[in-house]
Amino acid sequence: MTAAETLQPAIIYLGAGLAAALASRAVRLSPIVGYLVAGLVIGPSGFGLVQNSETARFLAELGVVFLLFDIGLHFSLRELSTRRDDMIGLAPLQIVLCGGAFALLGLAFGFPWPIATLVGVALALSSTAVVGRILADRNQPACPIGRSATAVLVAQDVVAIFLLTFAASFGGDPNAMAGEALIIVGKGALALVIAIIAGRFVVRPLFQSLAATNNRETFTVVALFIVLAASAATARADLSLTLGAFLAGMAVSDTPYRHVVQNEIKPFAGLLLGLFFMGVGMGVNLPAMAAIWPAVLATALVILIVKAAVVFAAARLNGWSVPGATQLAFLLSQGSEFALVVVGIVSIALAMPGNWAGVITAAVAVTLIVAPIWTSLGLHLAKLLAERAKGAQPDAEEVAEEHPVLIFGMTEEGCLAADALRDHDIAYLGIDSDPERFVAAVSNGYDVVFGDARDDHLMKSVGISDTKAIVLGTRGLGAASAFLARGPGAARSPCFVAVTSLAERMQLSTQGFRAHMAHAEPKGLELATDLLQQLGIEQDKIATWVRDQSERRGLLDKAPAPEPEAA
């Protein structure tokens, strides 16, 4: 074989991947969908330009390895403490209920119970890549919906690590599954302990030494070495490559260098993950699918509806409002890339009756394709439900006791203040008289009632005279003056307001307001940090929160953390 013939498959892969990425961006679909379609086009069921090969399968597996490394970079033990309500409450409940529902459906269709359980849990997981893209497109990563969805996805990804490890170790005998599971859990726990120790005593000192050389290329080389060495080590221990990659990412996540490593690894991860999804597309047998397309569409619809119903129930049990639970349910109801991996494992596919492996693979691909449209439907439904909530007013005693901070106007500044309070376990209540802002805030999971500060009955109901702090989200002198017109009782608590000019700030400061101009991104960051400081939050916790906000919005290193202004 000549050099040109050897390079030909790689050229076709890269060319098809590039075309898929550009086309999916042009039509505002997830790149995953584009890669799946590209694999169909160039694979045996399409034009037959590339055949499945051992090299292609290995590169595809490396794509999953780097995906799990990136997930590990976003996971830390601190994450468990700051997102405990979602990661220890909502996420496990969703996984158990969804996994149980799909496992029962599998048993009803003749699956052996171990396979039904394995596939059920795989279908309970959602797509990190798709949901992340949707949240970014809607500018929702930092709102309650975005934060809870991200926390659930991180918890799902942790489950997926052990799921993939177990699935890869499954030898085709369903009765051996229980014993295999115990051995794998034991090995996984030992690997986790080793990763934590290595992160503190090996990885951190190593990166500190590299930082002293001021050579960014060394970060790339060392990061590649760490992820590949850790993956090889877990594979040698009869665990999966992906578990080692995740643990390597987790070891790096607790160092100050994880953002540099993430940026250096990103090109490799994106390219190889694209090859993985193209490989999945190449593996789809179109002639066979043509005969069972009704089953594929029906299965896809069942996945979407069952997951939406179960996530909605889990969110309601965890205290979410009906509109917020609705949007979250539609957002997390598509299938996962991990389901494609699990069902694609030969031993798992052979243990499934009939052609269910192909049906489930195609159905999950369909859910990924329709995910943007499906989540838009959920958002529209959530807004309709929020419209119906405009007339509800809170109970006076309950609000006064449980919401010590009131936020008037759920603008960008008001929502950021609510984010700051929620992240530090301080209860708040938003009040907004703008119908569009109210509906958007309720749909995104904020605790908001519809009303006007000029409504004396509403102000008495929310206990304005007993609050610890008041935030005026609507900018400017006009909003502050209108609030002062309510009388002396209105400004009894510290009152924070966003202003548009230095003159407004000086004038309102003389009237007792803690006024802040927006110098940093996101808008209202100065106001939020001052609010936290006045409520007694420690400065190091505030600094950590500011950094987290910048990371969520992709603003890290673009703007310095603000110091709270003196009023």
What is the chain's mean pLDDT, rounded?
Answer: 78
Local structure of residue 342 (DSSP, 8 states):
H
- The residues spanned by each domain of the chain are 3-385, 396-552
Confidence band of 567 (pLDDT split at 50, 70, 90): very low
What's phi and psi for 10, nearest 5 deg? -65, -40
Question: Is 76 in a helix, a strand, or coil?
Answer: coil
List 517's β-bridge partners, or say none: 499
- Crossing angle of helices 113-124 and 356-388, in 10° steps, is 40
Please provide the DSSP assignment of 482-520 as one string: HHHTT-GGGGSS-EEEEESSHHHHHHHHHTT-EEEE--S
pLDDT at 566: 40
Q: Which helix (H) or strand (E) covers residue 96, if one does?
A: helix 91-108
- Could you identify the residue written with the tokens 């030898």? 171
Inter-axis angle of helices 322-331 and 128-137, nearest 10: 130
The total of other beta-carbon atoms located within 10 Å of residue 90's CB is 24
Percent of the chain with pLDDT over 70: 81
Question: Which of 6-15, 34-43, 118-127, 267-276 tops mean pLDDT?
Answer: 118-127
What does the block give as tokens for 154? Answer: 């991180």
Q: Does domain 3-385 have CATH number 3.30.420.40?
A: no
Give 269-302 as a DSSP string: HHHHHHHHHHHHHHT--HHHHHHSHHHHHHHHHH
Q: Which amino acid is at 170?
A: F
**3-class secondary structure per residue, 348-413:** HHHHCCCCHHHHHHHHHHHHHHHHHHHHHHHHHHHHHHHHHCCCCCCCHHHHHHHCCEEEECCCHH
Mean pLDDT of 405-425: 87
For residue 103, which amino acid is it?
Answer: A
Residue 385's Cα: distance from chain center in Å? 24
Entry pTM:
0.74
Distance of alpha carbon 308 from alpha carbon 322, whole angstroms: 13
d(CA 31, CA 21): 5
Asked: is 396-552 a CATH 3.40.50.2000 domain? The reply is no
Instruction: For the beta carbon of residue 173, count every other beta carbon within 10 angstroms.
Output: 12
Higher pLDDT, 456 or 469: 469
The tens digit of pLDDT for each residue in 163-182 reads 876 776 665 455 555 566 67
Q: Cα separation of 513 and 326, whole Å?
A: 38
What is the band of 311 on the pLDDT scale with cuts at 50, 70, 90?
A: very high
- C-alpha 265/C-alpha 196 separation (Å) is 21
As a whole number, mean pLDDT of residues 262-269 equals 75
Q: How confident is the model at residue 558 (pLDDT cuts 50, 70, 90)?
A: very low
CB atoms within 10 A of CB 361: 25
Please report, as a single letter, which amino acid is at residue 6: T
Instruction: Give Cα separations from 549 to 261, 295, 441, 543 (angstroms).
Output: 20, 44, 18, 10
Q: Which two tokens stand for residue 207?
A: 């990166």
* Alpha-carbon span 330 to 312, nearest angstrom: 8
Supply angle C-alpha 179, 113, 337, rounded to 5. 90
pLDDT in tens, 128-152: 777 877 887 777 777 888 888 888 8
Q: What whole-number distance in Å separates Cα of residue 17 and Cα of residue 38?
A: 7
**φ, ψ for residue 530 (rounded to 5)?**
-65, -40
Does 304 have pLDDT greater than 70? yes
At 31-55, the pLDDT tens digits run 777 887 888 888 887 787 776 666 6
- What is the reported pLDDT for 463? 66
Name residues whose C-beta falls within 8 Å of residue 482's C-beta, 6 or more positions apart in sequence: 453, 454
Whether 229 shows a pLDDT value over 70: the answer reads yes
| Alpha carbon distance 438, 411 (integer Å) | 9
Contacting residues for 394 by C-beta, under 8 A, at least 6 apart: 429, 449, 461, 462
What number of other Cβ atoms are within 10 A of residue 226's Cβ? 24
Is 201:208 a contact under the CB 8 Å cutoff? no
SS3 240: coil
| C-beta separation of 447 from 429 below 8 A | yes
With cut-offs at 50, 70 and 90, classify the pLDDT of residue 489.
very low
Supply the DSSP symbol for 553: T
d(CA 316, CA 156) in angstroms, rounded, equals: 19
Q: Read off the pLDDT of each residue in 257-267 and give the average, rounded to a whole number.
A: 76
